[in-house]
Structure 1
């Protein structure tokens, strides 16, 4: 594995742990706890994302092909529906076979922070998809795929992706999404494709979670209107 890949992994891990030091510094300047976590997360992941992309720049430029941009975007959008379908199947398996709750603790935690400090939305919608696809698809999956085969590479990288979210009740859901992302990467030969899918998927989750009550009220109103129209 190239040395720059190891640098990227170290940067990613350091960024994940940097809040232990960074958030208390912002707290010392009088910032609230939630805002301190949100602001530090955005600062640290902005730096990490730029740094990681710079380290990958020679490789990305070498493989860039503007003629494929339309294909990449289309597959990125189509991949969203594939990932959504795969996650729904995985969620039903978890619910019916393992009696798991459909609620995700990891998602609820991120939503709670975003609801109190909106700037935090940038983390799951922008920075997490970019950094996670670089780590789990570009580096882990890509390195294993070159030496073994697709199935083994998908299994190891998707399992690592799922475990790293520390939401073991929904391990299968994250694994399913990771498998779709890996398929998109291989299908288009561009890491940008799963990034796009990942961004759309996370954006949908955040919108649904943040506006759940409004959406539920809207659905109830629509149901009342439709029933009133029939009767």
Structure 2
């Protein structure tokens, strides 16, 4: 593995751990002291997350500045567009299949506490969407697909490389109950990277999928709930006949 790849991984790890001190630092400096303790803690967590992810992305892109592997000229634009859009559906299908397996085979109820927590923070500060839908996926694709999967794929076949990188990707999300879902998505993004030979494609698919999920559970949540109620009412009415 290239030397600067280790620096990028170290940057990512430090970013993930920085909240332990960063959130406390913001509170100690008097930020959000006008808010109740629990609410102030939430705001400190949100703003430190935005800050740390942004800095980590800037450092990562700086370390990758001399590389040309992220450019799209290595494949035809129509092919990149096809797999970028198709990758969104592939990821959603993989997520759905994994969810059904979890429910039917392992008895795991649908719904993720990790996702619910993130959605709740986004509702408090919509600006966090920039992290959950853009910065986060970009960093994850660089780390888990370009660096980890890419390095493993030089030595092992696709399945082994995708499995190892996807399990690590799933573990980092700290949602072990739904580790199968995250692993399945990791396989899809690894496939997109291996197929197109450019990290831009899985980045686009990952960004788009996260954006859709967050928007569906925040901005459009009320409308979706209303449509569900209307559907249930129609089912009741026609069921009566």
TM-score normalised per structure 1? 0.92
Please report how far the alpha carbon of residue 142 of structure 1 lies from its aligned counterpart in structure 2 after TM superposition. 0.3
**Cα contact 2:69–2:198 (8 A) shared by 1:** no
> Which 4+ runs in 1 deviate beyond 4 A?
61-64, 222-229
Two-structure CA RMSD over aligned residues (Å): 2.2
1:20 aligns with 2:20: yes
The corresponding residue for 1:2 is 2
| Structure 2: gaps spanning 5 or more residues | 33-39
How many residues were matched structurally? 231
Residues 58-111 of structure 1: per-residue CA shift (max 9 Å, x gap):
223685418734432331111000111111010000001111010101101111
- Separation in 1 of the partners of 2:23 and 2:81? 36
Structure with the higher helix share, 1 or 2: 1
**Which deviates more, 41-50 or 179-188?**
41-50
- Separation in 1 of the partners of 2:146 and 2:19? 25
| Structure 1: gaps spanning 5 or more residues | none
1:87 counterpart SS class: helix
TM-score normalised per structure 2? 0.88
- Separation in 1 of the partners of 2:159 and 2:183? 13
Instruction: Identify if the C-alpha distance between structure 1 residues 62 and 188 changes in structure 2 by more than 3 Å, giving closer, same or farther.
Output: closer
Question: How is 1:41-120 mapped onto 2 (pairs within 5 angstroms)?
Answer: 41-60=49-68, 64-65=72-73, 68-120=76-128
Name which of 118, 132, 135 aligns with 2:143.
Answer: 135
- Separation in 1 of the partners of 2:208 and 2:70? 26
Name which of 182, 191, 200 aligns with 2:190.
Answer: 182
Question: How is 1:147-226 mapped onto 2 (pairs within 5 angstroms)?
Answer: 147-210=155-218, 211-221=220-230
Instruction: Identify if the C-alpha distance between structure 1 residues 63 and 218 changes in structure 2 by more than 3 Å, giving closer, same or farther.
Output: closer
- Separation in 1 of the partners of 2:93 and 2:69? 33
Please report how far the alpha carbon of residue 182 of structure 1 lies from its aligned counterpart in structure 2 after TM superposition. 0.3
Instruction: Identify if the C-alpha distance between structure 1 residues 222 and 99 changes in structure 2 by more than 3 Å, giving closer, same or farther.
Output: closer
Residues 185-229 of structure 1: per-residue CA shift (max 9 Å, x gap):
011111011111111111121122224333111333366579989
**Cα contact 2:70–2:200 (8 A) shared by 1:** no
The corresponding residue for 2:37 is none
- Separation in 2 of the partners of 1:146 and 1:162? 22
